[in-house]
Amino acid sequence: MEQENLVSRDLAAIWHPYTQMKTAATPVAIVKGQGTYLYDNSGKRYIDAVSSWWVTTHGHAHPYIAQKVAEQLRVLEHAIFAGFTHPAAIELAERVLGVLPQNQQKIFYSDNGSTAVEVALKMCLQFWSNQGKPKTKILAFKNAYHGDTFGAMAVSGRSAFTAPFEKLLFEVEFIDLPTAHNISNLKSQISHLKDDLAAFIFEPLVQGSGGMLMYEAAYLDELLKTCKANNILTIADEVMTGFGRTGRFFASDYLEHTADIFCLSKGLTGGTMALGVTSCTNEIYNAFLSDDRLKTLFHGHSFTANPVACSAALASMDLMEQPETMQHIRRISERHAAFKKEISGHPKLKDIRQTGTIIAFEWQTGNDTSYFSSLRDRLYQFFLQKNIILRPLGNIIYILPPYCISDDDLAYVYDSIEEALETI
Ligand SMILES: *Cc1c(COP(=O)(O)O)cnc(C)c1O
């Protein structure tokens, strides 16, 4: 009863993200979260196998994060961040710099992943213009996803999602993911464009929204080296890959060369609150220091460095640094690898790929287009009926779980995927 009431009130008042409101199934009303689980109002319990859009790291409604957030709320809920500062922002900046590669020296706060990317792009473009040698082109990967605001959208792969805005998106040079086969080509392409390219932005090792597409650190290293040699700034968008997702603290920890800028969000607060971070080198920071006020980075948001969000991030950092967390990440990575081995070669799967706690299964698409076009929705409903939240990207299903997921729950998700392979 109450469940239906919530849904009808929702439909009367709310427009959901990435949702065709005319044809979408009615939303499930979630009233409670705990650990790996989300509960709807009829008491049905779901395994959140996608960490609620890739944000939840330590599990839902984590009591430690809740306590720290509650304490902060009673002390300071918000403070203007231009001309003022506060302890939570300072401590968080120090701690995030402590886990980032050494070349990262300054933290700029914003609200989410897209804004972290916008800030990174502005930093790079103004870095060049402040020095009187403007460069305006950005290099990015095909199938990239960097967010939904205009700048972030411009550097993302062009698709049906971006089509209505195409004319308004600035010019971007898109390249293929690097492989043994194309790496030397890509390198000469980059060298050729060096006078135009302000920056190269990339999702290290895993392209999330593009379909959990994975590529090798060694080739990314080659590209970073080439960019460095050609005076092109580099931006590691670790919004999804950060905070343990790929098996190390950052995906960039698999690299020898380090980007000039990092974008963080999603797991930054353990998935509790919206917060974005753009970190940079002192070289970039110094290019904005001047007696000329026009060289200032004129960017900020009302909720920049919100103390409550910072306290959630600090609490999440405490949990990240407990040895059990890395043990969980290793455990999940090992389970994924074993399951990958077990079902490799399955005739219905075109590809299975894994990086750390992320595993993706690409369904064969075959010739039957009507089967294919409804595949995503059938998979989604199949898992929902099994009390599992998996949100396929087209014909790709993936598991990206909170680190607290139990072996039993993982086994149940794997079993359900095997069942889907037999029945769908
Ligand atoms: C989700 C995501 C973003 C955008 O973050 P939002 O907080 O949704 O704006 C940017 N980059 C990557 C790699 C992401 O996965």
What are the mean pLDDT values of the chain's consecutive 10-residue runs (424 residues total)?
79 96 94 98 96 98 98 98 98 98 98 98 98 97 98 96 95 97 98 97 98 98 98 98 98 98 98 98 98 97 98 98 98 98 96 98 83 86 97 95 98 98 93
Catalytic-residue membership of 412: no
DSSP 193-251: TTTTEEEEEE-SSEETTTTSEE--HHHHHHHHHHHHHTT-EEEEE-TTTTTTTTSSSSG
What was the pLDDT predicted at 361? Answer: 97
Range of the domain at 206: 66-320
Ligand 1 geometric centre to CA of 36 (Å): 22
Residue at 391 is within a domain? no
Three-point CA angle 342, 347, 350, nearest 5°: 90
Residues 185 and 65: their CA atoms lie apart, in Å, by 48
Owner of token pair 């060289």: 295
Mutate to test the pocket of ligand 1, among 264, 266, 269 (most ligand atoms within 8 A of CB): 266
Q: Is residue 173 part of a domain?
A: yes
Report the first-to-last Cα separation within the chain, whole angstroms. 32
| 113 within a domain of the structure (yes/no) | yes
User: Residue 271's pLDDT is what?
Assistant: 98
Q: Decide: 226 and 190 in contact? Cβ < 8 Å.
A: yes
CA atoms of 423 and 419, how far apart (whole Å): 6
CA–CA distance, 350 with 347 (Å, rounded to integer): 8
Decide: pTM greater than 0.85: yes
The residue whose C-alpha atom lies closest to atom 6 belonging to ligand 1 is 113
Ligand 1 proximity of 226 Cβ (cutoff 6 Å): no
Interatomic CA distance for residues 150 and 170, integer angstroms: 9
- Is-contact 304 110, C-beta < 8 A? yes
Known catalytic residue at 18: yes
Q: Are 325 and 319 in contact (CB under 8 A)?
A: yes
Q: Which helix (H) or strand (E) holds 85?
A: none
Write the residue with the smallest CA distance to atom 10 of ligand 1: 146
Q: Is residue 28 part of a domain?
A: no
Tell me, yes or no, whether 197 lies in a domain: yes
User: DSSP character for 180?
Assistant: T
Residue 423 lies in a domain: no
Domain total in the chain: 1
Tell me the CATH number at 215.
3.40.640.10
Q: Are 396 and 362 in contact (CB under 8 A)?
A: yes
Q: Which protein residue has the closest C-alpha to ligand 1 atom 11?
A: 146
* Ligand 1 neighbourhood includes 203 CB (under 6 angstroms): yes
